[in-house]
């Protein structure tokens, strides 16, 4: 038993797709979440900047004595995953678990990947999947506007702007006839109904946040590191209110009293 919290971080709201699944599979764990809302998005930035931000986020979580860090961000997992080697605690990223799940799910060996520009340019999901099965055809598309739409709470299934944006971003995947799509940015599960509506019922969507949470649960269970307490604390680097209102919708419960603002720049670089 290890009662120290799990540390989870993302550039903003996206990592809540990991929290949502952790709430289901590990309700008794204590969790510290950091959303870098003052610096979102990460996915359009240079590798140097993403690595610097990731190190600061990890340092903040370590200051809360976490037992495990989950990079609940496809961009950090793709570009700054190597920072795991600098950490004194185990690290779970989102790419490998989602890649494994997609390779398992496809029946036609045609898989689509949606992510940020940094993630798509890194080919992280593509390479991870080709490692498991070199026969795959992988079609990728960067969808940076999805991040902003989610951060602004434009997540209703019939939101005209988000639906129109999805139609445009998903066109190459529809044309390529993929049967499986990785939501390779953790923000995207927040609009998975819209993405599902555009792709059609026969296409399987792989939620990278959910897969990372399942990987974390398996790690903690097999290493006898499960804890107890069930406390959730959320930290952000800009206004509490804008995060808290959309986060409460995404998580299905009011978390406003559990959100605090911090100065992430005080955590080095």
- Residues known to be catalytic: 73, 185
147 near ligand DGL, rule: CB under 6 A: yes
Q: Count CB-CB contacts under 10 A for residue 27.
A: 10
Which of 5, 6, 9, 11 is close enough to bind ligand DGL by CB under 6 A?
11
187 near ligand DGL, rule: CB under 6 A: yes
Site for ligand DGL, residues 118 to 137, rule: CB under 6 A: 119
**Closer CB to ligand DGL, residue 181 or residue 225?**
181
**Count, residues near ligand DGL per rule CB under 6 A:** 16
Q: How far is the CB of 107 from ligand DGL (least distance, A)?
A: 26
Rounded to whole angstroms, the Cα distance separating 114 from 141 reads 5
Q: How far is the CB of 87 from ligand DGL (least distance, A)?
A: 19
Which of 8, 19, 32, 40 is close enough to bind ligand DGL by CB under 6 A?
40
Those residues whose C-beta lies under 8 Å from the C-beta of residue 50, and which sit 6 or more positions away, are 42, 75, 76, 79, 80, 118
The two three-digit tokens of residue 119, written as one number:
């993630």
Rounded to whole angstroms, the Cα distance separating 94 from 7 reads 14
Binding pattern for the stretch 210-239 against ligand DGL, x by CB under 6 A and - elsewhere: ------------------------------
Q: Which stretch binds ligand DGL (CB under 6 A): 40-48, 129-137, 216-224, 245-253?
A: 40-48
Residue 266's Cβ-count burial label (10 Å; 0-12, 13-18, 19+) is exposed
Which of 42, 53, 234, 243 is close enough to bind ligand DGL by CB under 6 A?
42
Q: DSSP for 148-209? A: HHHHTT---TT-HHHHHHHHHHHHHHHHHT-SEEEE-STTGGGGHHHHHHHH-TTSEEEEHH
Residues at the interface with ligand DGL (CB under 6 A): 10-11, 14, 40-43, 73-75, 116, 119, 147, 185-187
């Amino acid at each position: 038993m290890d009662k120290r919290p799990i540390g989870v971080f993302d550039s903003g709201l996206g990592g809540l797709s990991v929290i949502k699944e952790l709430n289901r599979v590990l309700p008794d764990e204590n969790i510290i979440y950091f959303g870098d809302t003052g610096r979102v998005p990460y996915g359009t930035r240079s590798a140097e900047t993403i690595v610097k931000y990731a190190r600061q986020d990890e340092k903040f979580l370590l200051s809360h004595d976490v037992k495990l860090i989950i990079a609940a961000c496809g961009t950090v997992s793709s570009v700054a995953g190597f920072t795991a080697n600098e950490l004194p605690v185990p690290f779970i990223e989102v790419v490998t678990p989602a890649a494994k799940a997609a390779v398992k799910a496809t029946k036609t060996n045609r898989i689509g990947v949606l992510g940020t520009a940094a993630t798509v340019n890194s080919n992280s999901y593509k390479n991870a999947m080709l490692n498991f099965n070199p026969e795959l055809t992988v079609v990728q598309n960067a969808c940076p506007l999805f991040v902003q739409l989610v951060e602004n709470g434009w997540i209703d299934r019939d939101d005209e702007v988000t639906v129109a944006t999805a139609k445009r971003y998903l066109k190459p995947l529809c044309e390529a006839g993929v049967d499986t799509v990785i939501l390779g940015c953790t923000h995207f599960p927040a609009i998975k109904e819209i993405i599902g509506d555009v792709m059609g019922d026969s296409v399987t969507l792989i939620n990278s946040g959910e897969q990372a949470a399942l990987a974390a649960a398996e790690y903690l269970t097999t290493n006898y590191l499960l804890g107890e307490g069930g406390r959730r604390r959320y930290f952000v680097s800009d206004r509490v209110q804008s995060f808290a209102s959309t986060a409460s919708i995404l998580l299905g419960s009011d978390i406003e009293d559990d959100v605090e603002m911090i100065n992430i720049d005080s955590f080095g670089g």
